[in-house]
Structure 1
Amino acid sequence: MHTSEQADQKLQAILQGSTPVLLDFSAEWCGPCKQLAPILKDVKAKTGDKVRILKIDVDKNPKLSQEWQISGVPTLMLFKEGKLLWRQSGVMPAHQLLQVLQQHVG
């Protein structure tokens, strides 16, 4: 079993990598988060290994949510090599999200 500190370190290591990482801050009780799930699945199918998508439950990770000032869910954050490239709250269509990813990661 991982402690939250080990999990934080693992996440930081992933975010520092050269593969772009899209974080999806969501919650079980959040309706729009449920709408976003198939959109992210579609985006993953179209981007393959070019982008890593990680879902973070704000209720299970309150420290992380507070650290990154997540005030509403869903919130998407795009990282590459440890840098935050883009952030947006709310649901967006797959084609729009794909455009954002292409702009930032090619």
Structure 2
Amino acid sequence: MQVATVSCPHCGRRNRVPAAAEGRPTCGNCKQPIPWMVDAGDHDFAEVAEQADVPVVVDLWATWCGPCRMVSPALEQVATDLAGRIKLVKIDIDKNPRLAQRFEVQAVPTLLVLDKGRTVARQAGAAPAPVLRQWVEQSITAREG
């Protein structure tokens, strides 16, 4: 299983975060929630995204896509701002054609919010971090309330 290394936004400590795990990742040093950002593909999407305990923001992107490169840092900012509340899963559609087909991707980036594997929100195209954060928060509010 793949493991990502993430810096704690609170104390700066580097933490190893597994792609799939129960619960929510916290910093080994200060115990605060840390961003959960991982890559997934056709072979591990079910385990990484659909079985997550938290809502999952899925970024379906491509290396050749300019808007994808613009939205990636914005999504990482949202994942940092909402650490402990969401998981960001990035999928390169060129390397994972089954997922691109399953989610009927016709434009990239395509963004999804999944709750226990069910799509609760979807949008195509890039947007700035504040707009993305508002969209994600609106999408997960019903789940948390």
The CA deviation at 1:46 is: 0.5
Per-residue CA deviations over 1:42-67 (Å, capped at 9, x if unaligned) read 11111012110011000000011011
User: Residue 47 of structure 2 corresponds to which residue in structure 1?
Assistant: 10
User: Residue 98 of structure 2 corresponds to which residue in structure 1?
Assistant: 63
User: Residue 71 of structure 2 corresponds to which residue in structure 1?
Assistant: 36
Larger Rg: 2
Deviant stretches of 4+, over 4 Å:
none
Give the TM-score of the pair, scaled to structure 1: 0.86
User: Residue 25 of structure 1 corresponds to which residue in structure 2?
Assistant: 60
Residue aligned with 2:99, SS: helix
CA contact (8 A) 2:42 2:96 kept: no
Structure 2 unaligned regions, length at least 5? 2-40
The CA deviation at 1:5 is: 6.4
Higher relative contact order (CA 8 A, sep 6+): 1
CA contact (8 A) 1:16 1:80 kept: no
The CA deviation at 1:86 is: 0.5
CA distance, structure 1, for counterparts of residue 98 and residue 52 of structure 2? 22
Structure 1 unaligned regions, length at least 5? none
1:89 and 2:124 aligned: yes
User: Residue 136 of structure 2 corresponds to which residue in structure 1?
Assistant: 101
CA distance, structure 1, for counterparts of residue 85 and residue 126 of structure 2? 21
User: Residue 108 of structure 2 corresponds to which residue in structure 1?
Assistant: 73
Q: Does the C-alpha gap of structure 1 residues 6 and 63 become closer, same or farther in structure 2, counting only changes over 3 Å? A: closer
CA root-mean-square deviation: 1.8
The CA deviation at 1:17 is: 3.1
Residue aligned with 1:45, SS: helix
Q: Does the C-alpha gap of structure 1 residues 61 and 103 become closer, same or farther in structure 2, counting only changes over 3 Å? A: same
**One-letter amino acid of the structure 1 residue matched with residue 87 of structure 2:** R
Give the TM-score of the pair, scaled to structure 2: 0.64
Relative to total residues, which structure has the larger helix share, 1 or 2? 1
